[in-house]
Structure 1
Amino acid sequence: MNFPLFVARRIRNTHETSFSKTVTYVGIGTISLGICIILVAFSILFGFKNAIIQKITNFSGDLRISQISGNHSLSESPMQRNEAWEKTIRKHPYVDHLQAHVQKPGILVGDQGLAGVVIKGIGADMPLAQVKQNIIAGSGQMNKGQSIILSQELAQQLKVRVNGSLILYFLSQPNRPRKVQVQGIYETGLEELDKLFVLADRDWVQKMNGYTADSIGTYEIYLKQPVDLNIAANRLTKTLDPTWKLETKVELFPALFDWMQMLDRNIVIFISLLLIVACFNLIATLWVLIMERIPMVGLLKALGSSASQIRSIFWWNGFFILLRGLLIGNILAMGFCWLQATYHLIPLDPVNYYMNAVPIHWDWLTWVWVNLGTCALVSIIIYIPTHFINKIDPQTAINYKN
């Protein structure tokens, strides 16, 4: 029989004074609130990061391959399609699919405004589901000819709706205006994309650029998940033509990824403070429980129990409080995350946060590690107040309440 565990269980089931009960409930509440906030914070953090990365990836791919040149404008340098290389890459274990695009800068003019844009030509190798993911009005099916899909931000700026018409001027051909029809409206919530890109048929954009059918602007590669981005980039770089260059989505959108790294640092500081508060509260709780039972400590010492056995009794007492706090905290966190993921109770301003509601990502491995890490840390910390037991004299302790 484990003597300290047996006594700790009996203590837990006895009627304590109202003060020690209150302190115990405060300890349980502190642990519950702390672990709940930590789990919710991780779920929201991963939700933000995954939502933003998904939006970026959905629009621009994980990797982009383009022609090496000194051209730093929005108009791409043409590159020759390599069908043999494309077949090889599509069979690569890291690659989900490959797309070819053509870009051309221009100016869209409406009845009540104009906007500088980049026309991105997409083809049949871009899955329809990928386009439809961000469509909020009209069709995501790209028609041949002079049809475009523009963002909600541009549609509001140009005061145009689905099936409306705009005049498009390509910067390389300013004297040849073209009438285009709005076929659909998309919204990613990312200002860097929404204020700039307009989707059109690739063959048409190729023609406007003066490209041949086998000339494109860029390749976009979508990786299978989970695959390490840097490892995949290094492997695929070895297959490239010497005149091509490969860029990752981190290199293409450094500001967004720097912002997400800043979020990581803030969350680490925030969670560290929560754990420190939870540890100190549990130490205080255990200290009160020891002070309440000084006569019992003296009696156990007088009966021959070692100081380490008595310390273990109170350690188990603190561990029971920790487990109850963890259980309640996990239930609260799961409930909140489920409600937010299902009903979007907390809205956000997409202008500042890139999405309409607080996102939730269920990463069960993170939840397991948070619980195990909290258990390990707090279990070590609660040994601190039990060392006070070594200083208790049995005779003085027995007569403590007198």
Structure 2
Amino acid sequence: MNFEYFIARRIARSKDHKSSVSGPIIKIAIAAIAIGTIVMLIAIATGIGLQRKIKEKVSAFHGDIIISNYDTNFSFDSQIPISINQEFYPEFNLVPGIKDIQVTALKGGVIRTEETFEGIVVKGVDADYDFSHFEQYLKEGRLPDYSGNLNAEILISEYLANRLDLKVGDKVATYFVNNDSERPTRTRGFDLVGIYNSGFQEFDEQFLVADIRHIQRLNKWEPDQIGSFEVFVEDFDKLSETSAAVYENIDSELNAISIREKYFSIFEWLDLFDFNIYLIIGIMIVIAGINMITALWVLILERTQMIGTLKALGSSDWSIQKVFLYNAGYIILRGLFWGNLIGLGLIAIQWQFGVFEYPDPEIYYMKEAPVYLNAFYILALNAGTLALCLLMLWGASYTVTRIAPIKAIRFQ
């Protein structure tokens, strides 16, 4: 058995060690590491969880990459149509990492009831549209079906439904302005079949989902003309590279823009969460390290006579340092164990029951705090905490080298 490890284990298991002066200090050090681990786990889980959830919501409304015609006019009613007959549709095989592609078109309009009215943006979708993005947000009714003949089914947000006092099954009258002197205004009647709530009010207060064929008729487009293609990628972390590759592989008259570019301010805000997470982890590790250094110095002071005896028997300074580093490592592992147990337990409770809610859901685009973790994050956090704490303790353990054997043996 390793000599240093044997002595360290005997020290850790001795009863006098637990009831000595260092006992309370060690307990404080274990508690500091445990609390730091809990805070770091929660910071990572909620920070990454919020980032992923908001990215999912933005992608649900716009896709990850939008392919459309070049247009400097951002009005929904001036959208220049493009042909659906493209080399990359319906299967985008030109670029690796593409998961799905679907067609859409947008048109601004107004919903009017007997009491009030609201401006809306009708998002026209085709039979290939993946409604799984909206399933988790569906509050009432069902998702519309556009696989057959043209129908009047629509999906509307809970925000608009409440403001307009609409419910599933109601008839919805919408009005659209056209650049047509003969018929400047056109009306469409829709059947409300589903109500959703994404929590993203910036989108909920605008979008109404309908069959794309209504927009084609309103704009007098041909059946093979659409507004844009929405592309979904397999790895969002590689969105910039994939978006650039998509742009290089489409016709020169088409433009490809990622949602990170389109909604730059939202993603810039999300990137700040990475800095906050790193800052919290750094502060917690420093606090845990300082507590462990204090505990190590107390252990060294308490075992001064033992250090002198070991030096007198021929042990090197590094050998004695390893005794205390092994002991400190045992203390750190105990703190990590309890920190992981409590931290992961709290995260599991939040994931299952959604106990913690944001005080202002409009700021964070959701009511409950989302959490996300995987094994890599947990292992990396624990390994990093252990390594950095031991690195700080390695420097503090040099106190052993300054203890003279004769004075140490006489130490009381």
Q: Classify the TM-score, shorter chain.
A: over 0.9
Distance of 2:191 and 2:184 partners within structure 1: 19
- C-alpha distance in 2 between matches for 1:235 and 1:97: 15
Alpha-carbon displacement from aligned partner over 1:317-358 (angstroms, at most 9, x marks no partner): 111111111111111122111111111111234322222211
1:83-135 per-residue CA deviation (whole Å, 9 max, x = no partner) reads 44314515754222211111111111223322211111011011243343322
Aligned to 1:201: 211
2:157 to 151, 160, 168: 151
Is the 1:108–1:166 Cα contact (8 Å) retained in structure 2?
yes
1:98 aligns with 2:109: no
Match of residue 29 from structure 1: 31
What is the correspondence of 1:69-80 to structure 2 with a 5 Å cutoff? Answer: 69-75=71-77, 76-80=79-83
Matched, 1:45 2:55: no
What is the percent sequence identity of the aligned residues? Answer: 30
Post-superposition offset of 1:19: 2.6
Deviation at 1:398, TM superposition (A): 1.7
State how 1:244-263 maps to structure 2 within 5 Å. 244-263=254-273
Alignment pair present for 1:294 and 2:304:
yes
Task: Calculate the TM-score normalised by the size of structure 2.
Answer: 0.92
Aligned length: 401
Q: Deviations over 1:243-263 (max 9, x none)?
A: 100010101221221111112
C-alpha root-mean-square deviation of aligned residues, in Å? 1.8
Task: Say whether residues 1:178 and 2:179 are aligned partners.
Answer: no
The answer to whether structure 1 residue 126 and structure 2 residue 129 are counterparts is yes
CA displacement at 1:381 relative to structure 2: 0.5
Query: Residue by residue, what CA displacement relative to the aligned partner does 1:138-181 show, whole Å, maximum 9, x if unpaired?
Result: 12123533332111111111121112233311132653333333
The match for 1:388 among 399, 406, 410 is 399
**Deviation digits for residues 2-40 of structure 1, max 9, x if unmatched?**
221111111111122343111111111111111121112
Please give the alpha-carbon distance, in whole angstroms, between the structure 2 residues aligned to 1:66 and 1:57.
Answer: 16
CA contact (8 A) 2:177 2:185 kept: no
Q: What one-letter code is carried by the residue in structure 2 that aligns with 1:72?
A: F
SS at match of 2:89: helix
Q: Which consecutive aligned stretches of 4+ in structure 1 deviate over 6 angstroms post-superposition?
A: none
Q: Greater CA deviation, 260-269 or 210-219?
A: 260-269
**1: CA distance, partners of 2:124 / 2:94:** 24
Are the counterparts in 2 of residues 111 and 159 from structure 1 also a CA contact under 8 Å? no
Shift of 1:45: 1.1
* Match status 1:107 vs 2:110: yes
Q: For 2:279, give the aligned amino acid.
A: I
Bigger drift between 279-288 and 361-370 goes to 361-370
Aligned to 2:226: 216
User: Aligned partner of 1:46: which letter?
Assistant: I
Do structure 1's residue 279 and structure 2's residue 286 form an aligned pair? no
CA drift at 1:316? 1.1
CA contact (8 A) 1:101 1:120 kept: yes
CA contact (8 A) 2:144 2:155 kept: no
Greater shift in the superposed pair: 240-249 or 69-78 = 69-78
Residue 81 (structure 1) aligns with: 84
Matches within 5 A, 1:232-381: 232-348=242-358, 349-381=360-392
CA shift at 1:196, angstroms? 1.0
Look up the SS of the partner of 2:315 in the other structure: coil
Match of 1:167 in 2: 173
